[in-house]
Amino acid sequence: MNVEVFNPFITATLDVLQTMAGIDPSRGTPRLKGRDDGSYDVSGVIGLTGQVQGFVTLSFRESAALHVVSSFLGEPVTCVDEQVKDAVGELTNIVAGGAKRALADSGYALTISIPSVVVGPNHSISRPKEIPCFEIPFETDAGPFSVELCLRLAG
């Protein structure tokens, strides 16, 4: 997969967290995610169709989700409830929308779906076998999260 397709999602994630939540996470080393590797505790998932196909996931350890959502909403949240799920879905949507705009500027036409949120420790998100999934880990003061990019170019 061309890094030109990945970078807009990484940039959008950093921009959204910095501007909307005041959080400046540190980025770790990307890796190819194994088929049996689970995600963290709270994940926003959004599908892509068009010239770029697959899905992007923002997956947070519970402590990081609570921290990010508290900062995003401007009020403390202490448990993963509907408000937290909605906020993680919205953050995922904003990240995907920002990446979509950047990709459109580079000539890629794509559509994003409505986000879904998956909750549960070390949950698994099914993906087609033919699409590799890359995980870009991040660290916040309250714990880790990752951007999972399971994408391919159409054609």
pLDDT tens-place string over residues 33-87: 987 788 899 999 999 999 999 999 999 999 999 999 999 999 999 999 999 999 9
Indicate whether 137 pLDDT > 70. yes
Count of domains observed in the chain: 1
CA-CA distance, 150 to 133, in Å (whole number)?
4
CA-CA distance, 77 to 36, in Å (whole number)?
31
Mean pLDDT of the chain: 93
Instruction: Tell me the CATH number at 18.
Output: 3.40.1550.10
Q: What is the pLDDT of residue 1?
A: 55
| CA dist list (Å): 89 to 31, 32, 35, 85 | 24, 24, 24, 6
Residue with tokens 């909605």: 86
Residue with tokens 């448990």: 79
**Residue 41: domain span:** 3-153
Task: Kindly report the pTM of this predicted structure.
Answer: 0.94
